[in-house]
Structure 1
């Protein structure tokens, strides 16, 4: 889907780390500090960034941690909305009390890729 004023998909990858997956991970999904998918538990389960590729448990994966990256939507997401991770790391609409990014593009359906500004994970 379009991102900001650009009609194509874009992102601004500024920083990335290598993380060892503790579960099978899909590409373009939020990932937690412990190598699994983020939850509302916080700590090691807060979102650290977004996976660039798929990874099996025990494999290394590149995780984008700085400015923005493409994230698979878990449903419709409005441009500018705060987003959080669903149970499989996809971006869904969040709130001031629970979010890990801001949508820089819009999704009309599950499975679409949108640019998301990666923010520090906030928990209620």
Structure 2
């Protein structure tokens, strides 16, 4: 995740502390990233847990075409959660959007365009 923070020449010369609002995806604390009630997640019966559907079409006798597409039932997840068991906080999505304000220290003498890395502050997988 990359965010830009506008600063003045004075900030770069003297140093400053600025606040940066970031929105990131974090694992849902309501279901611990499961998406619903523990034990309610089942393998998708349409794709057999693979997340993709294979379609075979006969074009002419002796010639078939095979295509693969994302499963329309589980949307590529390989598992499904009944609506009644979905997490109320994330609605079965396993992640939620979280807005945070980061405190950014601009050191004296920093260059224009210099990058500052915040370890562990990206989207969670």
TM > 0.5 fold call? no
Question: Which structure is higher in RCO with an 8 Å CA cutoff and minimum separation 6?
Answer: 2
The structure where helix makes up a greater share of residues is 2
The structure where strand makes up a greater share of residues is 1
TM superposition score category, shorter chain reference: under 0.3
Larger Rg: 2
